[in-house]
Amino acid sequence: MNVEHYKKWDQDYVWHPYTTFSALENTPLPIISQGKGIYLYDINGTPYVDAIASWWACNLGHSHPRIVNAIKKQCDELQHSILGNLSHPPAIELAKELAHKMPDSDCHVHFASDGASAVETALKISLQYWYNLGMSKKIKFLSLKEAYHGDTLAAVSMGYQETFHRPFKEMLLRSDQLPVSPYDATEEEALCQAEDVIKQHRDEYAAMLVEPLCQGAAGMRIYSANYLHKLYELCKKHDILFIADEIATGMGRTGKMFAFEHANIIPDMVCVGKGLSAGYLPISAAIVRNQIHETFSDQPTDHTFYHGHTFAGNPLAAATAIETLRTYADDHIIENAHKLGIKLEIFLRPLAIHPSIKEVRCLGMIGAIEFKKEITGKAQRVQKYMKNHGYLVRPLGQVIYVMLPLITPEKALEATVRTLARAVEETSNATINTCKHRAELFDDL
């Protein structure tokens, strides 16, 4: 392997997601060629702790023997076959497992590949559900303020942000974001405003889509189970479907299998992705309650859901997800995540007294530090420090966060936070006024 060739070809041919051109000019990107446990290794053999679980997906770490063997075994049997008018054992078993993870197992599972495609599926199902019932005025969506649900156009419609999405503005679905979040006001006030919006547009809203308890891309904004519960009740009261987007928060990240479980609610649909296959192969799903599914009969014909992806529920990916769920059960991954989350909070909370820090936020195995507004560029400097000390983290604006794999040993968790504390202490708090574009601060999203 010639490292220099790879570096050049990377620059010549790869269009990196969420990466500004200027970021590429300044620093060559590490080229990762191996992974084991919580470590990623670059092409020179330099190890890095994968402290964001590879975009919040690799909950079981890398090269987990059970998952690797499950993929190899499935490879020998069936690599691909479609789910349109055909079926296969891994998809059937996985659908059954997922349905039984819901509060009542009265569900059908519509598979997709990435998170955004599961979100698209759920949104389209909501629209068609009301269409099937003859209520075709319900064609609008509601989401949280500063929501993020992925980068396809329908998903962007739910999380519109002027800085990132201006070129697509004219092409988006009809959708509102709540005007106030519990971050801008008291929870009571936020709910009051939500109720006003919901009451006013109840006849138009097909569904409300939420990231339960933690708004990841907004900067790990954590809100209470009570707020989630009350939003859910409002939607139920006003006949609006409630979709939990568990793509980031699901699969044990918050210390329960799904974050919505903290709020004791029964969403109409649940979107899962990322960690569903422990991040090994692309698979996602919309888990849909049967009272919705039942309206999609083929009488009349336009009530069928004509929607699907070539690789939806791919056998290799589905077998990987099944083995992931078995490993979760056998190795008590959720219980472990809950216990580790308590430790993470114990280690991280004391950093809150640092003068550069506005807030420390913790939920299960999510830990985030938000720096004060006036101390710009701090999160980026902390990221650089961490990388130089063998930890891969990514800032979100003023926020730096850790989302380690759920199998991280306690000592490694402690060492990560200790290094983070040193990074906060040893990187300067100077403000950067020379920053060319605001987008530079986000090139690491």
Ligand X SMILES: Cc1ncc(COP(=O)(O)O)c(C=O)c1O
Residue 58 lies near ligand X (rule: CB under 6 A):
no
The packing angle between helices 410-426 and 378-388, to 10°, is: 130
Beta strand pairing call for 221-222 and 32-36: unpaired
Is 148 in the active site? yes
Exposed e or buried b per residue across 289-327, where buried means at least 16 C-beta atoms within 10 angstroms of its C-beta: beebbebeeeeeeeeebeebbebbbbbbbbbbbbbbbeb
Widest Cα–Cα separation across the chain: 67
Q: Of 116, 208, 366, 382, which one interacts with ligand X (CB under 6 A)?
A: 116
| Cα–Cα distance for residue pair 69/55, rounded to 1 Å | 23
Is 330 in the active site? no
Residues contacting 411, CB < 8 A, separation 6+: none
Residue 149 lies near ligand X (rule: CB under 6 A):
yes
| Cα–Cα distance for residue pair 19/159, rounded to 1 Å | 19
The CB-of-115 to ligand X minimum distance in angstroms stands at 2
Instruction: Point out the catalytic residue in the list 39, 48, 129, 148.
Output: 148
Residue 248 lies near ligand X (rule: CB under 6 A):
yes
| Cα–Cα distance for residue pair 211/404, rounded to 1 Å | 19
Instruction: Point out the catalytic residue in the list 50, 114, 245, 444.
Output: 245
DSSP string for 117-148: HHHHHHHHHHHHHHHHTT-TT--EEEE-TT--
| Cα–Cα distance for residue pair 119/175, rounded to 1 Å | 14
The CB-of-272 to ligand X minimum distance in angstroms stands at 10
Residue 347 lies near ligand X (rule: CB under 6 A):
no
Number of residues that bind ligand X (CB under 6 A): 15
Question: Judged by CB under 6 A, which stretch of 88-96, 148-156, 194-202, 328-336 contacts ligand X?
Answer: 148-156
Is 274 in the active site? yes
Is 245 in the active site? yes
Asked if the bond preceding 300 is cis, omega within 30° of 0, the reply is: yes
The CB-of-150 to ligand X minimum distance in angstroms stands at 3
Q: Which residues pair with 370 in a beta bridge?
A: 359, 399
The CB-of-98 to ligand X minimum distance in angstroms stands at 17
Residue 114 lies near ligand X (rule: CB under 6 A):
yes
Residue 150 lies near ligand X (rule: CB under 6 A):
yes
Q: Of 35, 37, 90, 115, which one interacts with ligand X (CB under 6 A)?
A: 115
Q: Which is nearer to ligand X, 223 or 385 (CB)?
A: 223
Residue with nearest beta carbon to ligand X: 115
| Cα–Cα distance for residue pair 304/301, rounded to 1 Å | 6
- How many Cβ atoms from other residues are within 10 Å of residue 133's Cβ? 12
Residue 245 lies near ligand X (rule: CB under 6 A):
yes
Question: Judged by CB under 6 A, which stretch of 58-66, 144-152, 161-169, 199-207 contacts ligand X?
Answer: 144-152
Q: Which is nearer to ligand X, 61 or 212 (CB)?
A: 212
Residue 148 lies near ligand X (rule: CB under 6 A):
yes
Residue 444 lies near ligand X (rule: CB under 6 A):
no
195 touches 128 (CB < 8 A): no
The CB-of-356 to ligand X minimum distance in angstroms stands at 26
Catalytic residues: 18, 148, 245, 274
Residues that bind ligand X (CB under 6 A): 114-116, 119, 148-150, 211, 216-217, 245, 247-248, 273-274
